[in-house]
Amino acid sequence: PGVNFLSLGGSNINSNDFSLGGLLVSFVGAVILLAIVNLIRRGSVR
DSSP codes, 1-46: ---GGGGGGS--TTSSS--HHHHHHHHHHHHHHHHHHHHHHHHHH-
Burial code of 10-45, b = ≥16 C-beta within 10 A, e = fewer? Answer: ebebeeeeeeeebeebeeeeeeeeeeeeeeeeeeee
User: Position 4: which residue type?
Assistant: N
pLDDT at 6 over 60: no
Task: Tell me the pLDDT tens digit for each residue of 10-46.
Answer: 545 555 555 677 778 888 889 999 999 999 999 887 6
Query: What pLDDT, on the 0 to 100 scale, is given for residue 32?
Result: 94
pTM for the model: 0.49
Query: What pLDDT, on the 0 to 100 scale, is given for residue 46?
Result: 66
Query: What pLDDT, on the 0 to 100 scale, is given for residue 43?
Result: 86
**CA dist., res. 25 & res. 19, Å (int):** 10
The residues spanned by each domain of the chain are 19-46
